[in-house]
């Protein structure tokens, strides 16, 4: 019986370790995958490590993460330790009051802290970048240090400092030679926690960064928008570094202890060790500070602030533009149009933004944009007739088209027949495909599907039609058991995990090049034809350079390089036609159907209408 208990206890322990470390093992293994797939291992290759090391943006992000983590750890550890010592000498009421205040940023949701810090920096007129990220990290790391150090301070004998001073020590010597050594475990624990919190942070960093400054978390998050196995290579290197640090922390002290016992008196060795550590820390801090100043410096060149969706430009083109025009591009990315609007409305300053059609309409209404001076755009004639003079910006007064496409059904031709597709959007209600469908995890796109399936306009304001669409989605959810997925649908459909998926045409085209069994279908009831475009903000500081950037992106060779990298339909005629006869030859997803009169462009929704859709979508997802 006793042996059986031991067996089960060890079995559960093994299960726990598998649960904890299997994802790490999978990441490491797929970092050596020769293909782009994140689920299908096709062979061993160092391809993604080579791409990682040649990617200057990732290398810059590593530098930002490490230096910000080191500086914020050092400063927050000093502030937290001094605060904990001060609290120990305070009155009971004040002490309890301040400790409760210290708990607020620890318990506060990160998104609330992020928005608060963003608004604070904006109201103070501080330009977002390296220093705002550093200040933010210090602010949220310090409370954790206080929480770690204070219990050690409380356990101190209050007479120790007085005894040391009675024996001739100055207050500073009493602090350094008596107090600090006793509370050192708490200080080290607080510093380690601060470093971990800073190095790992994404939410706060995302909102307070700017001027092209990104840490590892932001870079990785942006990479997840499309299949990018470089994430695996980066993650593997981080894992290896962490393991190496843990080994050093545990092994080196044991080696030093043995050598110290043999070669030198304890006091001399300890003193030498402290001096060595202090020297190393001082060097690291100096390097970090100098590097931070270098990061913040712009070198006297013109600077263009560009704000775009993640993984939505060929990064080589940014470098090319900087070299051709002798400028610097501060390139930032956003998760969604709504996220972009939040930062813009909070006072963030950008020169060129690349939003979607309905958001452009909103920005025009709210006077965020300035008209484009088309006489400065020499490549304007390169634009296709199909992408200009649309409802969101008649006459293209404010916008220059960037990419365009549709939303449709990606389907497995071996499972879904042509007869099935005759049902249009209602094929998503065919119980033959129960549990075999990916719906796009998007309120806007899912309601578009339901409204079009019912024969309504996707821009309807009729409450009864919206209710009908909601009931359609509820019925589909209950009878078809769809999986609501995001960008992970790309890899899942490449490997053929489901029969059908709602996807954007650019993603559909890419999937079809990777899996010849896949087809793309836009129902006759109509769909969303979307347009993303480049706009210039009203407070743009480099108007001429902004126009040069737009002109550059509309150049034939640049547009082709961009669409080849991103995979979406170019708005430049030559690039669009070239992709049809090369990379996407015969891929129907790449060619938006402009002949179907039922196709529509999303219009801007007023706040009340948007609230109604948001509440109904929450109910759809609530099951």
Task: Please give the residue that has the higher pLDDT: either 607 or 470.
Answer: 470
Residue 294: the pLDDT is 46
Confidence label for 276 from pLDDT (cuts 50, 70 and 90): very low
Confidence label for 287 from pLDDT (cuts 50, 70 and 90): low
Residue 38: the pLDDT is 67
Residue 227: the pLDDT is 64
Distance between CA atoms of residues 127 and 491, nearest Å = 38
| Across 129-133, 150-154, 231-235, least confident range | 231-235
Name residues whose C-beta falls within 8 Å of residue 202's C-beta, 6 or more positions apart in sequence: 215, 217, 218, 221
Tell me if residue 42 falls in helix, strand or coil.
coil
**What element of type H or E holds 131?**
helix 130-154
223: nearest Cα among 208, 235, 209: 235
| Across 37-41, 127-131, 217-221, 481-485, least confident range | 37-41
Q: What is the mean pLDDT of residues 349-365?
A: 95
Q: Is the per-residue pLDDT at 79 higher than 60?
A: yes
Residue 48: the pLDDT is 83
Helix count (H) and strand count (E) of the chain?
Answer: 25, 11
Residue 268: the pLDDT is 44
Q: Is the per-residue pLDDT at 136 higher than 90?
A: yes
Task: Please give the residue that has the higher pLDDT: either 242 or 387.
Answer: 387
Most confident of 125-129, 159-163, 218-222, 375-379: 375-379
Contact 230, 56 (CB under 8 A): no
Confidence label for 348 from pLDDT (cuts 50, 70 and 90): confident
Most confident of 83-92, 293-302, 482-491, 613-622: 613-622
Task: Please give the residue that has the higher pLDDT: either 156 or 394.
Answer: 394
Confidence label for 26 from pLDDT (cuts 50, 70 and 90): confident
346: nearest Cα among 185, 480, 207: 207
Task: Please give the residue that has the higher pLDDT: either 486 or 464.
Answer: 464
Q: What is the mean pLDDT of residues 542-549?
A: 96
Percent of the chain with pLDDT over 70: 90
Q: What is the mean pLDDT of residues 564-585?
A: 94
Confidence label for 484 from pLDDT (cuts 50, 70 and 90): very high
Distance between CA atoms of residues 455 and 404, nearest Å = 24
Q: Is the per-residue pLDDT at 156 higher than 90?
A: no
Residue 298: the pLDDT is 46
Tell me if residue 409 falls in helix, strand or coil.
strand
Q: Is the per-residue pLDDT at 296 higher than 50?
A: no
Task: Please give the residue that has the higher pLDDT: either 418 or 257.
Answer: 418
Confidence label for 297 from pLDDT (cuts 50, 70 and 90): very low
Residue 5: the pLDDT is 67
* pLDDT digits 0-9 by tens, 314-327: 989 999 999 999 99
* pLDDT digits 0-9 by tens, 88-128: 878 877 888 888 888 888 888 888 899 899 888 888 888 88
| Across 223-232, 233-242, 414-423, least confident range | 223-232
Residue 416 carries which DSSP code? S
Residue 274: the pLDDT is 54
Mean model confidence pLDDT for the chain: 86
- Per-residue H/E/C for 543-607: HHHHHHHHHHHCCHHHHHHHHHHHCCEECEHHHHHHHHHCCCCCCHHHCCCCCCCCCECCCCCCH
| Across 165-174, 285-294, 524-533, least confident range | 285-294
Residue 100: the pLDDT is 85
Residue 9: the pLDDT is 73
Instruction: Phi first, then psi: give them for residue 44, nearest 5 degrees.
Output: -85, 135
Contact 151, 182 (CB under 8 A): no
Distance between CA atoms of residues 93 and 573, nearest Å = 72
Distance of alpha carbon 518 from the chain centroid: 29
Distance between CA atoms of residues 327 and 323, nearest Å = 7
């Amino acid at each position: 019986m006793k042996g059986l208990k031991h067996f089960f206890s060890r079995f559960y322990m093994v299960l726990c370790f598998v649960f904890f470390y299997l994802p790490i093992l999978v990441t490491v293994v797929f970092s050596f995958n020769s293909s782009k797939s994140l689920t299908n291992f096709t062979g061993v290759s160092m391809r993604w490590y080579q791409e990682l090391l040649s990617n200057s943006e990732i290398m810059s992000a590593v530098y930002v993460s490490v230096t910000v983590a080191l500086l914020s750890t050092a400063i927050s550890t000093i502030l937290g330790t001094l605060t904990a010592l001060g609290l120990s000498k305070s009155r009971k009421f004040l002490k309890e009051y301040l400790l409760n205040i210290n708990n607020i940023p620890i318990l506060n949701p990160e998104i609330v802290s992020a928005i608060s810090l963003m608004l604070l920096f904006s109201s103070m007129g501080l330009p977002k970048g390296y220093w705002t990220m550093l200040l933010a990290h210090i602010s949220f790391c310090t409370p954790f240090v206080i929480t770690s150090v204070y219990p050690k301070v409380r356990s101190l004998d209050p007479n120790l400092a007085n005894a040391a001073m009675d024996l001739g020590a100055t207050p500073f010597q009493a602090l350094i030679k008596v107090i600090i050594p006793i509370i050192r475990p708490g200080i080290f624990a607080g510093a380690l926690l601060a470093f971990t919190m800073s190095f790992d942070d994404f939410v706060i960093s995302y909102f307070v960064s700017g001027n092209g400054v990104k840490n590892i978390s932001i870079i990785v998050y942006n990479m997840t928008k499309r299949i990018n196995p470089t994430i695996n290579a980066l993650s593997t290197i981080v894992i290896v570094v962490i393991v190496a640090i843990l080994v050093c922390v545990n092994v080196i002290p044991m080696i030093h202890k043995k050598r110290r016992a043999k070669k030198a008196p304890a006091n001399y060795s300890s003193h030498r060790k402290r001096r060595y550590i202090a020297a190393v820390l001082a060097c690291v801090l100096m390097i970090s500070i100098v590097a931070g100043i270098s990061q913040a410096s712009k070198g006297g060149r013109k600077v263009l602030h560009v704000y775009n969706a993640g993984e939505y430009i060929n990064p080589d083109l940014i470098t090319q533009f900087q070299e051709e025009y002798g400028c610097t591009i501060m390139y930032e990315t956003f998760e969604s149009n709504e996220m972009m609007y939040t930062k813009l409305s909070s006072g963030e300053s950008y020169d060129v933004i690349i939003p979607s059609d309905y958001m452009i309409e909103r920005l025009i209404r709210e006077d965020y944009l300035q008209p484009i001076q088309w006489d400065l755009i020499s490549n304007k004639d390169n634009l296709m007739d199909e992408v200009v003079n649309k409802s969101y910006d008649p006459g293209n007064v404010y916008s220059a088209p960037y990419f365009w496409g549709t939303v449709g059904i990606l389907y497995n031709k071996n499972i879904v027949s042509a007869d099935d597709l005759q049902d249009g959007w209602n094929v998503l209600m065919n119980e033959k495909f129960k549990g075999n469908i990916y719906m796009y995890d998007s309120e806007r796109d899912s309601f578009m599907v339901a409204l079009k399936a019912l024969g309504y306009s996707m821009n309807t304001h009729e409450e009864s039609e919206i209710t009908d669409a909601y009931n359609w989605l509820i019925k589909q959810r209950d009878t078809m058991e769809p999986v609501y997925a995001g960008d992970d649908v790309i890899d899942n459909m490449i490997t053929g995990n489901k029969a059908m998926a709602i996807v954007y045409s650019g993603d559909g085209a890419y999937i079809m090049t990777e899996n010849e069994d896949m087809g793309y279908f836009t129902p006759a009831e109509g769909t969303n034809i979307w347009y993303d475009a480049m706009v210039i903000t009203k407070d743009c500081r480099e108007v001429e350079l902004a126009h040069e950037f737009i002109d550059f992106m509309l150049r034939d060779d640049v547009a082709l390089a961009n669409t080849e990298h991103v995979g979406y339909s170019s708005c430049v005629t030559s690039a669009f036609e070239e992709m049809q006869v090369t990379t996407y030859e015969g891929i129907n997803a790449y060619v938006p159907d402009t002949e179907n009169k039922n196709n529509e462009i999303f219009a801007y929704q007023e706040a009340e209408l948007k609230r109604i859709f948001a509440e109904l979508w929450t109910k759809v997802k609530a099951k």
